[in-house]
Amino acid sequence: MSKFDYTRAKDSAYSLINRFGKELSFSRETGESYDPVSGTVTSTTETYTADAVWLNYRNEEIDDTIILQGDARVLVAGSVEIDDRVTFENEEWRVVTARPLSPAGVELFTEAQVRK
């Protein structure tokens, strides 16, 4: 058991992301179903919203290997997964990395790298 109460830190993180960010729409493919009559496969998509702060990478962070020109960093009050989609300024971006900050098992926020 941790001696520090991370739930207050989580509340602070969510509050700051809410204050300085905006609500964004995310989507995630949750499965597929096969119709044997038509022979088609249909994807099932879950849509959710989360408060997030959208940040551009600094030039010195862009290495054109892991972080590409045009990638963005998104701090999300909640969980996102690799391959989730997020809509920002009417454009769809794909989550390429998702790094939750979870000291003592309490997820404070998730830092995601997104790409068009």
> Under a CB-based contact definition with an 8 Å cutoff, are residues 50 and 24 in contact?
yes
β-bridge partners, 89: none
Catalogue all structural domains in the chain, each as residue range(s) with its CATH number. 6-32+43-115 (2.40.10.270)
pLDDT tier at 1, thresholds 50, 70, 90: low
The candidate with the shortest Cα–Cα distance to 17, out of 65, 62, 53, is 53
* pLDDT tens, position by position, 19-74: 999 999 999 998 888 888 988 888 889 999 999 999 999 999 999 999 999 999 99
Coil vs helix vs strand at 48: strand
CA distance 15 to 99: 19
What are the CA-CA distances from residue 16 to residues 44, 57, 75, 116 (Å)? 33, 20, 10, 26
pLDDT at 101: 96
> Under a CB-based contact definition with an 8 Å cutoff, are residues 76 and 102 in contact?
no
The candidate with the shortest Cα–Cα distance to 44, out of 54, 58, 34, is 34
Percent of the chain with pLDDT over 90: 81
CA distance 30 to 77: 21
pLDDT at 2: 59
pTM: 0.87
